[in-house]
Amino acid sequence: MFRKVHYRLTFLCAGITIFILIIMSLIYLYVSESGLKKNQFLSFQRDMSTLTANLEQQTVITHEWLSKIEKNNSYLVSIMDNGISFLFNDRNQDVNKSRITNEALNYYHSHFSMEGVSSDYSSYHMEYEFTDSAGDDYYACFAVIPFPAGDVQALILSPSDRLDIQIKEQRVRFLLLDAAAVLLLFLFSYFFTKRLLLPIEKNRIGQIQFVASASHELKTPLAVILSCANACKKASPEEEEVFLSTIRSEGQRMSRLIDDMLFLSKADNHSFHVHMEETEIDTLLLNSYEAFEPMAKEKNIRFQVSLPENAVPACCTDGERLHQIIAILLHNAISYTPPMGRVILALTLEEADSKTSGKYYITVTDNGIGIPEEEKDNIFKRFYRGDKSRSSKNHFGLGLSIASEIITALNGAIQVTDTEGGGSTFTVTIPMRHPAPS
């Protein structure tokens, strides 16, 4: 699915930019070609003004002069003396040339009127574009130059194939550039959209894994509940009591798991809120200690609390959420520490100075089974459980991920290190923000 969306986005992203690129290129080509054609025609008109002025100044029009003009400018020149073809035309008789000349003359006579043009004119010339019967384009100039002996007419033709070549070359250059741009745009879109989709894909995989793990976790207690319910039908009253108690405890387990999952889903939607208020952090630690003392005692674990000797400044935080984090850490510490072990809950302070704002450090230290180095990165992931704890029914692998979500919301941090001599130490850091005076 990811690949399909990726390809679609690549085509969409590249398609839109390529479409815009092609439209812009076509507009540019159109404007540029129109400009080129206009300039070429203007330059031909200028050349013709000079040429007719030159012709006017000639007393005798020699073949050499005309040949030179034809050769130097790639023109086809025809001179008519009082309507009769000048000898130059006959000498250089070329069937093709006379065909084109006749067609150009006919075109001129059929499209532009000669009326009103007389020998009173110092000179007259008219330029026009013309396509011959073979489909070749020309710029043509029909000129009438008055001489004392009578009017001389001249027809000058300039093939516009040079301009065609220029235009074709420009089109090929644009085609190549556009092809390279299309390739680059596709490559760019491919990698850009891949990068863009990566977090979404990661999130999707995470969600699939979450649902799979959640279903797996829910399946076990549900299976126990169903089998107990079936067994109840044929059970004696004493057995029935045992089955009902199992159903109750499995139901509570499911309820805890669902609560945890709901909390994480709220965290994902950013819909769980923290209520920052003045909190006596040392009192909070003492309450947590009291809550877990019976559990530690039951497991025969030495449980201690350590607080700073001086008065601890009140902290602006969400006390209930902080208590939730400490409870998760203490529950784990007691669970993963064998009997006769030791668990210490401690609070230390780092006073604020001119450079740093102060911090509270809450540490839960145990000398239990410890966490291998390669697992330390994973323990905050959802449903992750170390191998040693897999058999425990009361651990779903969600505790530390919940703690990590809460601590992020409280602007703090959580980290794990090894306890000297074995075991784990979890440190929760809370920024020291005193409540504003009311």
Binding site for ligand ADP (CB under 6 A): 328, 332-333, 336, 366, 368-371, 379, 384-386, 389, 395-401, 424
Q: Which two tokens stand for residue 321?
A: 């959420």
- C-beta closer to ligand ADP: residue 151 or 366: 366
Q: How far is the CB of 361 from ligand ADP (least distance, A)?
A: 17
Comparing CB distances to ligand ADP, the nearer of 14 and 398 is 398
Alpha carbons 366 and 306: distance in angstroms, whole number: 14
Q: Rounded to the nearest whole angstrom, what is the least distance from the CB of residue 294 to ligand ADP in the complex?
A: 19
Do 111 and 128 form a contact (C-beta atoms < 8 A)?
yes
Report how far residue 297's alpha carbon sits from residue 295's, in angstroms, rounded to the nearest whole number.
5
H helix or E strand, kind and range, residue 140: strand 137-147
Q: What angle do CA 357, 358, 363 make, to 5 degrees?
A: 140
Helix (H, G, I), strand (E, B) or coil at 170: helix
Question: Closest approach of Cβ 389 to ligand ADP, in Å?
Answer: 4
Q: Which is nearer to ligand ADP, 330 or 430 (CB)?
A: 330
Question: Do residues 422 and 372 touch, judged by C-beta distance below 8 A?
Answer: no
Residue nearer to ligand ADP on the CB measure, 6 or 382: 382
Alpha-carbon distance of 222 to 257, in angstroms, equals 12
Using CB positions, name the residue nearest to ligand ADP: 386
Q: State the nearest-atom distance from the C-beta of 335 to ligand ADP, in Å.
A: 7
Nearer to ligand ADP, 169 or 377 (CB): 377
Residue closer to ligand ADP (CB basis): 281 or 328: 328
**What is the widest separation between alpha-carbon atoms in the chain?**
144
CB of 414 to ligand ADP, least distance (A): 11
* Conformation bin of residue 83: beta by default, left when phi > 0, alpha when psi is -120 to 50: left
Least separation in angstroms between residue 383's CB and ligand ADP is: 8
Helices (H), 58-94: 63-73, 87-91
Cβ-based nearer residue to ligand ADP, 78 or 363? 363
Total Cβ atoms within 10 A of residue 401: 22
Least distance between ligand ADP and beta carbon 297 (Å) = 18
Three-point CA angle 257, 258, 264, nearest 5°: 90
